[in-house]
Amino acid sequence: MGTSTSHGGPKDKKPLLPSWALPPDDANGGETLPVGDNAENAAPGNGQEPVEPHFTWQSAKRQMTNFASSGGDREKIAKAGGAYVSAKGGARAASLGSVSGQRVAAKVGSFLGTISSRGINDAIASLGFMTAVGESAETVFAKIADALSPAGATREEVAARKAVDDVLCVLYEKFIHEGEDISSLDRMTAEDISESIEQCVCSYIYHRWLEELGFRVEKGAITENAAVALENQMKDYVKECVSLETDNIDVLNFDWQGSQGVQIIERVFNDAYSILEAGV
């Protein structure tokens, strides 16, 4: 049901461990800690019953079920996002665990920047295939997807590939109009590149969340259409959490795979997970 292909979801461990585009840590040693306001509520001697901390996969699953059962309540999706990131060990651990996502976001930025600075032919050559002459836009886009993120075996690699597919689908719909070819991408602006990197980060985080806990949406939704609507709401919510500040970055000529680029991508992931964890 829905658009997810989730498995049964992560389990708590002792210790706790944190259509052309279709692809062919342990933060605290396992100790369950109160998070946010729960830290005060769970303290002994305050006359209140301890509140279960949102630091377990069980609580993350429950919050996702609550969100699905609500039909899409904004407050409940915020709580579900916060519980999910907490269960992964917090924003820092979630970001550190997003190796494939960060790598592919840097590749996307680098590839699109090459298109802008040197043209589509040089950008394609940089990926290892020399020409797109005589090939349909669909064929070339599929080759670009394979070059940026080959179909992987791990769930993280699968999420990275889906993120690339999402970015390329948006670019295809925006630039490849009837009768036009891949050279239309030469019209991309700095804003297009920035938005594409944001889209890549957003899609990766969304697909990881959906893969790990989307089965709870499927169980809680009444119909398949309802599940799809809830999943789209999840994606929109993640998108609100992702922001790439480009005021001091020349995105058209920036070395996204260099040390500065890596640091910026890491910060975007960490900030996004922090906002998601805060449940804003």
Is 235 part of a structural domain of the chain? yes
C-beta pairs of 232-236 under 8 Å, 24+ apart in sequence:
233/72, 233/77, 234/77, 234/206, 234/209, 234/210, 235/202, 235/203, 235/206
Question: Looking at the domain assignment, is residue 79 inside a domain?
Answer: no
Q: How confident is the model at residue 133 (pLDDT cuts 50, 70, 90)?
A: low
Domain with 141, as residue range(s), is 98-278
Considering the domain boundaries, does residue 56 fall inside one?
no
What is the average pLDDT across 129-142?
80
- What share of the chain has pLDDT > 70, as a percent? 78
pTM exceeding 0.85: no
pLDDT digits (tens, 9 = 90+) for 207-259: 999 999 998 898 888 788 999 999 999 999 999 999 999 988 999 989 999 99
* 59 belongs to a structural domain: no
pLDDT at 55 over 50: yes
Q: What is the secondary structure of 206-220 as a DSSP string?
A: HHHHHHHHHHHHHHH
Angstrom distance (rounded) from CA 60 to CA 56: 6
Cβ atoms within 10 Å of 179's Cβ, excluding its own = 5
Q: Which of 29-43, 60-74, 149-163 has the lowest mean pLDDT?
A: 29-43
Residue 62 tokens read as 């429950």
Q: Say how many C-beta atoms besides its own lie within 10 A of residue 145's C-beta.
A: 21
pLDDT above 80 for 131: no
Does 62 reside within a domain?
no
Q: Total domain count for the chain?
A: 1
Residue 199 counted as domain residue: yes
Which is higher by pLDDT, 7 or 269?
269
The verdict on residue 166 lying in a domain is: yes
Distance between CA atoms of residues 179 and 156, nearest Å: 36
Res. 43 pLDDT band, cuts 50 70 90: very low
Asked whether residue 72 is domain-assigned, the answer is no
